[in-house]
């Protein structure tokens, strides 16, 4: 049985979907004020492997991925470039979906843009105001965390340190992995001269990033999600904000399982423009690596571990994948269709499932596959058995998407 580490309970649990007929998953997508880099894609690829493995295991899955196209950073970036917000975000969305396809990522069933869910966000804000968990101040709307019992439960926040003096945080996002101990913004009221606003029932303005994910999730799923996923940085503020908002207006938990992917670093340092070490997909392909090798590097280390990019690490990953593919090509040349199912093929399926059932242990699964193939005398293998081994590997690669 599949077991996953649930961030909420802080332990490995047997995966049981909320809805047995359909596993529902929502994942945080890109904030498209800029182009997605390989650190972003590490998280998106972990989520892709999760969805693919659930389907490999026999589950039906529906996935949504949020696209945040009206946050503070996007507004500022559009002004800086002297282009419209829509022009900026349309360009980045188009580039993002192309790179998803390039990396052999499955496109989610729902790919909502937050700008299409303004009325849904307004509806949520009105409900929160009626519940007195939100309030107006100087034209903006803020959520008061102290009004929501259990606030910070996902992170495990110690609320005894919450200040008694009221503080308000006005921006969508803040740098760093720190908690803002105060009330967070839900609605940016219109200020004279602003270009990006909507006329709504509660006045002119725009929804904050904090309420955008809840507006998109609630528009597609009216039940507890089986999984909600994102990067480890979303565990600070963002996901607890989303929980508090949605669970204030719906009488059930937002999600049963919460999964978070750790950061990717470059030579031990966080990627940043100031350091000039932001890597994109073509940064690696221009060095001679194939797309399969890039995908493999990003999924090979366990998703809950930090991943460090270095030239040596990338070379090692590429060589490991090339060695396996060389064995597979030898098998393909020898393969001939047969009806029976060979022992080696059965073993491949068994060990792959065992490792992946252990909290999506891609590294362990790949290494065992490599051990099996290295121990097989391919030259002495019967053609029928070779065919069955290739068939089993193709089924496995429906999840990994790096071998064939």
CA-CA distance, 93 to 67, in Å (whole number)?
8
Of 271 and 143, the one with more pLDDT: 143
Nearest to 102 by CA among 265, 293, 288: 293
Give CATH for domain 266-400. Answer: 1.10.730.10
User: How far from the centroid of its chain's Cα atoms is residue 345's Cα?
Assistant: 32
Q: How confident is the model at residue 293 (pLDDT cuts 50, 70, 90)?
A: very high
pLDDT of residue 75: 94
Average pLDDT of the residues of the chain: 94
Give start and end residues of each alpha helix (H) in 250-382: 281-285, 291-300, 311-334, 343-357, 362-374
258 Cβ neighbours under 8 A, 6+ residues apart: 6, 7, 8, 154, 227, 228, 229, 239
pLDDT of residue 164: 87
pLDDT of residue 276: 80
pLDDT of residue 341: 52
pLDDT tens, residue by residue, 123-141: 999 999 999 999 999 999 9
pLDDT tens, residue by residue, 16-51: 999 999 999 999 998 899 999 999 999 999 999 999
Is residue 339 scored above 60 in pLDDT?
Answer: no
> Which CATH entry fits the domain spanning 3-261: 3.30.559.10, 3.30.200.20, 2.70.70.10, 3.40.50.620?
3.40.50.620
The pTM of this model reads 0.95
pLDDT tens, residue by residue, 83-123: 999 999 999 999 999 999 999 999 999 999 999 999 999 99
Average pLDDT over residues 227-232: 97
Residue 5, strand partner residues: 12
CA-CA distance, 314 to 186, in Å (whole number)?
42
Q: Is 281 helix (H, G, I), strand (E, B) or coil?
A: helix
Average pLDDT over residues 181-185: 97
Give start and end residues of each alpha helix (H) in 60-180: 72-81, 85-102, 118-130
Is residue 340 scored above 60 in pLDDT?
Answer: no
CA-CA distance, 43 to 229, in Å (whole number)?
9
CA-CA distance, 66 to 197, in Å (whole number)?
20
Q: How confident is the model at residue 270 (pLDDT cuts 50, 70, 90)?
A: confident
Comma-separated ranges of CATH 1.10.730.10 domains in the chain: 266-400
Average pLDDT over residues 251-269: 96
Contact in structure between 8 and 239 (CB atoms under 8 Å): no
CA triple 181-184-186, angle to 5 deg: 170
pLDDT of residue 374: 87
Comma-separated ranges of CATH 3.40.50.620 domains in the chain: 3-261
Q: How confident is the model at residue 184 (pLDDT cuts 50, 70, 90)?
A: very high
pLDDT tens, residue by residue, 152-182: 999 999 999 899 899 999 999 998 888 999 9
pLDDT of residue 94: 96
pLDDT tens, residue by residue, 219-229: 999 999 999 99
Instruction: Quote the DSSP letter at residue 71.
Output: S
Average pLDDT over residues 313-334: 94
Q: How confident is the model at residue 337 (pLDDT cuts 50, 70, 90)?
A: low
pLDDT of residue 376: 78
Quote the percentage of the chain above a pLDDT of 90: 87
C-alpha distance across the termini of the chain, in Å = 27
CA-CA distance, 230 to 35, in Å (whole number)?
17
């Amino acid at each position: 049985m599949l077991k996953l580490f649930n961030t909420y309970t802080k332990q490995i649990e047997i995966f049981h979907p909320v809805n047995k007929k359909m596993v529902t998953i929502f994942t945080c997508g890109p904030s498209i004020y800029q182009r997605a880099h390989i650190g972003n894609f590490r998280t998106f690829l972990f989520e892709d492997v999760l969805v693919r493995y659930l389907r490999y295991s026999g589950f039906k899955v529906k996935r949504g991925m949020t696209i945040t196209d009206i946050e503070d950073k996007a507004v500022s970036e559009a002004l800086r470039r002297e282009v419209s917000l829509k022009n900026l975000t349309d360009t980045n969305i188009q580039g993002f979906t192309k790179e998803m396809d390039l990396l052999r990522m499955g496109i989610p069933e729902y790919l909502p843009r937050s700008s299409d869910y303004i009325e849904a966000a307004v509806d949520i804000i009105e409900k929160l105001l009626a519940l007195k968990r939100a309030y107006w101040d100087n034209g903006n709307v803020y959520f008061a965390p102290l009004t929501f019992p259990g606030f910070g439960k996902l992170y495990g926040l110690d609320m005894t340190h919450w200040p008694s003096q009221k503080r308000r945080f006005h921006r969508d996002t803040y740098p760093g992995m720190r908690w803002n101990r105060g009330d967070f913004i839900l609605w940016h009221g219109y200020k004279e001269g602003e270009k990006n606003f909507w006329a709504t029932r509660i006045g002119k303005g725009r929804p904050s990033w904090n309420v955008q994910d809840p507006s998109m999730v609630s528009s597609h799923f009216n039940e507890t999600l089986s999984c909600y996923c994102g990067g480890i940085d979303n565990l600070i503020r963002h996901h607890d904000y989303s929980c508090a908002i949605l669970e204030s207006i719906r009488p059930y938990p937002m999600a049963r399982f919460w999964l978070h992917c750790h950061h990717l670093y470059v030579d031990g340092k966080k990627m940043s423009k100031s350091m000039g070490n932001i890597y994109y997909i073509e940064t690696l392909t221009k060095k001679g690596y194939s797309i399969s090798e890039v995908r493999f590097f990003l999924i090979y280390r366990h998703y809950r571990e930090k991943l460090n990019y270095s030239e040596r690490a990338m070379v090692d990953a590429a060589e490991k994948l090339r060695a396996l593919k060389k064995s597979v090509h030898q098998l393909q040349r020898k393969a001939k269709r047969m009806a029976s199912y060979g022992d080696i093929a059965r073993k491949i399926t068994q060990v792959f499932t065992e490792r992946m059932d252990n909290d999506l242990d891609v590294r362990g699964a790949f290494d065992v596959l490599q051990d099996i193939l290295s121990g097989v005398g391919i030259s002495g293998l019967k053609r029928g058995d070779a065919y069955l081994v290739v068939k089993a590997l193709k089924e496995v690669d429906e999840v990994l998407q790096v071998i064939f």
